[in-house]
Amino acid sequence: RFDRGGKGIEKKTVLLYCCQIYIVHRFIFQLVTYAPFTLFPSPVPKAVFHQALAVQTHFNLLVDKISQDSGFLEEALASTIAVDDFTRRLFDIYRSVLKEGRSQSIVLGLNRSDYMLDQREDGTSSLKQIEINTIAASFGGLASRTPDVHRHILQVAGRLEDSQRILDNNPAAGLAKGLAKAWKLYGSERAVVMFLVEEGQRNIFDHRYVENELWKRKIPTIRRRFQDVCKTGSLDQDKRLFVDGQEVAVVYFRDGYMPQNYISEQSWDVRLLMERSLAVKCPDISTHLAGTKKVQQELARPGVLERFFPDQPQVVEQIRATFAGLYTLDMGPEGDKTVAMALATPDNFVLKPQREGGGNNIYGSEICQVLEGVKESTERTAYILMDLIHPSPVHNYLLRRDASLQVSKCLSELGVFGAYVRQGKDMVMNECVGHLLRTKSSEHSDGGVAAGVAVLDNPLLV
């Protein structure tokens, strides 16, 4: 027995209390941890960096133009929706909205275009686009904080001059600017911006930086899941969206980009409910479809970019300069040629399904395994084939929780954030709002930060 103020306390009670503290401690540190990052910033060629920033507003316009071209989307995705159930379900919602008529003329796009530097043995190098993310483009919040981290590290390491070369970067403010613009155009100060989020969101602090920027502007925000909207969401006679009795001005999707996000038919019903509403959707369903891999491949076809920029050859040239080789797997002679090419030299390509979120791409001998199984089937049209990018590795330290600190041979991927708002035919905002550098060990072929492979980084321009 322990004595405390004249009252006895059983030893087993104290031990039980200590065990409870330990369990809570372990739970907290398993639930909350720092975002992984590189110890030092990674070198990025200055010309390539500025090329990526300069082309972003053109990509914003391109995505928006695609989202308005129902004929192009129908044609581009016809083969994919025949075999890919997820894309088909999205397209069914798109058709329903078109048939009923769009309720909202305000369009908000917050996207991120990702690139790698292709460096060949002959000494040539060029910026090549990996993909463009039109839904739940992440890490704008955390990327706004990493410059201070690397400035501090470089100062501690005695590299004061390099610390002063770390670029200012605040995509959280830029993304919030787009959300705020759409909220203001909606025209109701009582209405909220709703972050549609996943259950058990691991990347919550990335969201919080954007939320905080909205609260600075005195714009109210709420966080809800699909099931929350299912329980309390409704449309009034004017198609205004209400959730928990609050009018929603903007639905900001940080969920809904993968099949597993739709856990039931009710999830799909809720997506349709929101798409039919007067709320501004970020993205709306057509902009979501504009970011699919199949659309990316179709854009690389000769003459397609000219469809969207008929009198702007310089814009077409700037966009096309970032394209890697992209090849169709549609049924027919062209697709057959692609299959044969991939099977002959699989190490030269990456096979991409219509999925977001990282960790989905297929490389090397696995390409042969997949294509041998579907080469005579329409199932192959669920994929596209892309040239493999060859960046030159650099050495850095990757800091992760519970991982030993050791130097790694690393590859980096540069992302550029764009924000645009259109009202009717008028583009009222179109900006490049920041950048993101993610770095991973060269031993990993695919996978982002959320997948536990890449870490956050900063460019040190050289």
Q: Which of 177, 276, 352, 380 is catalytic?
A: 352
- According to DSSP, the β-strands at 280-282 and 246-253 are parallel
Find out whether 135 is annotated in a ligand binding site: yes
Ligand-binding annotation for 133, yes or no, is yes
Q: Which residue type, as a one-letter code, is found at position 369?
A: Q
**Is 296 marked as binding a ligand?**
no
Backbone torsions φ then ψ of 89, nearest 5 degrees: -65, -40
Phi, psi at 45, each rounded to 5°: -60, 135
Q: Is 54 annotated as a binding residue?
A: no
The residues near 187 (Cβ < 8 Å, ≥ 6 apart) are none
Which member of 356, 380, 396, 408 is catalytic?
356
ω into 283 cis (within 30 of 0):
yes
Active site residue 10: no
Binding site annotation covers 158?
Answer: no
263 is in an annotated binding site: no
408 is in an annotated binding site: no
363 assigned ligand-binding residue: yes
Catalytic, 438? Answer yes
Which residues lie across from 437 on neighbouring strands? 414, 457
CA distance 350 to 131: 12
Q: What is the maximal distance between C-alpha atoms in the chain? A: 90
Q: Report d(CA 22, CA 127) in Å as an integer.
A: 50
Is 356 annotated as a binding-site member?
Answer: yes
112 is in an annotated binding site: yes
Annotated ligand binding at 254? The verdict is yes
Q: Which of 247, 325, 357, 400 is catalytic?
A: 357
- Among 131, 211, 275, 298, which one carries the catalytic annotation? 131
358 is in an annotated binding site: yes
Would you call 188 helix, strand, or coil by DSSP?
A: coil
* Active-site residue, 357 included: yes
Which one of 112, 128, 271, 380 is the catalytic residue?
A: 112
Is 356 considered catalytic here?
yes
| Residue 138 known to be catalytic | yes
Nearest C-alpha neighbor of 192 from the set 246, 253, 252, 244: 246
Q: Do 372 and 380 contact (CB within 8 A), yes or no?
A: no
Q: What are the DSSP calls for 275-329, one per residue? A: HHSSSEEET-HHHHHHTSHHHHHHHTSTTHHHHHSTT-HHHHHHHHTTPPPEE--
**Among 151, 271, 293, 422, which one carries the catalytic annotation?**
293
Among candidate residues 275, 438, 448, 458, the one labeled active-site is 438
Q: Report whether 302 belongs to an annotated binding site.
A: no
Distance of alpha carbon 326 from alpha carbon 130, whole angstroms: 10
Is residue 112 annotated as part of the catalytic site, yes or no? yes
The answer to the question of whether 438 is labelled as a binding residue is yes
239 is in an annotated binding site: no
Q: Is 359 annotated as a binding residue?
A: yes
Which is catalytic among the residues 42, 67, 138, 286?
138
The answer to the question of whether 271 is labelled as a binding residue is: no
Of all helices (H) and strands (E), which one includes residue 409? Answer: strand 407-423
Q: Is 131 a residue of the active site? A: yes
Confirm whether residue 331 is marked as ligand binding: no
Q: Decide if 142 contacts 206 (C-beta within 8 A).
A: yes
Distances (CA, A) of 435 to 206, 234, 324, 441: 14, 37, 21, 20
389 labeled binding residue: yes
Positions at the binding site for ATP: 131, 293, 352-361, 363, 386-389, 413, 440, 446
Positions at the binding site for substrate: 112, 135-138, 201-203, 254-257, 438, 449-450
Catalytic residues: 112, 131, 133, 138, 293, 352, 356-357, 438
Positions at the binding site for Mg(2+): 131, 133, 356
Positions at the binding site: 112, 131, 133, 135-138, 201-203, 254-257, 293, 352-361, 363, 386-389, 413, 438, 440, 446, 449-450
